[in-house]
Amino acid sequence: MAQNPFAGPPPSYEAAVDASRANGSNTAQGDPPPYHNWQEAVPDTSVFPPPPVQGYYSSGTGNASADDADRAHEFCDSTPLWIPTMPSSAVWRDVHEHRNLRPVQPVEFQGTLKSSSQGRWSGATRDRNGDCLVVSHLPLYFAAMDSPLLRNDGHDTVIYFEVKLKGLRAGPGSGEGESGFSIGFVAQPYPSWRSPGWERGSLGVCSDDGCRFVNDSWGGRDFTTPFQVGETVGLGMVFSAPKGIRRSSSDKKEMSRMCDVEIFFTRNGRRAGGWNLHEEMDADSGGIEGLEGDFDLYGAIGLFGGIDFESCFNPAGWLWKP
């Protein structure tokens, strides 16, 4: 009679029994094994960093086309970030002392855009305007001069600007979606049809859902509430030398380390949240290349649909007072 191949215990059970006999163990005799000391095995979770903020695979209010996203990814993959160079003293003073920052209007922008005074812009896109990006013509942060790893004054470097939402009209494309804007910073070159935070070397906060983006082409992460018409919002970055690094060090290994970076957000002149650039991120998060103080950063406003806005890069006009 043929032997039943399914008779007896499963192979894994039998193998486990054989292994225990070979090792001389027998749980049926002698004292039972000690209880597992889980208090020592499981660490105190109160000292762990907070879990990653919930991210979304798509926006709940509106999404750019897949074709636009694919073009942007191809652009970034084939176009490296610009290597920082030392600005002339005249250029540096133009930004940091005179606040003479002007907007660069992309071909995707349809409407009116002008500098109303030094460091102040006003603009209005036409109804149903597609995604576009307005950036400052010069960096707010010059990596070769503003990095706290290179400066000897003992201070952090802060960049910041504000945008006032004055009106919302028909959304992009067919006009059925919501119109709005995002405020942020980008390292150049950056695709002019993408909002800050959607591609490499950029971050931003979006008006329609209040989500924040850091190299995130999906739906962003929960951060704040949607912006309201009449509100003024601001976004800033604080660059500081990592602890244990001498700011004036000549050690090339030390100087090659990136800055610590904190991002802060304001509403109508008051701080309303922020995050650490190096926070714990999940596997789906994009990288933070270009944002750690080693590349120049430009002020950026992403626009979609019909929108009226004003921006201010001049501290004299900010609602937030440093």
Q: Which domains are seen in the chain, by residue range?
A: 55-317 (2.60.120.920)
Q: What is the pLDDT along the chain (322 residues), one digit of tens a residue?
A: 444 444 444 444 334 334 434 444 333 334 443 333 333 444 454 444 554 555 444 444 455 678 899 999 999 999 999 999 999 999 999 999 999 999 999 999 999 999 989 999 999 999 999 999 999 999 999 999 999 999 877 899 999 999 999 999 999 987 678 999 999 999 999 999 999 999 999 999 999 999 999 999 888 999 999 999 999 999 999 999 987 665 444 444 444 568 999 999 999 999 999 999 998 665 566 799 999 999 999 999 999 999 999 999 999 999 999 9
209 Cβ neighbours under 8 A, 6+ residues apart? 59, 60, 61, 220, 226
Q: Are 177 and 62 in contact (CB under 8 A)?
A: yes
Give the pTM: 0.78
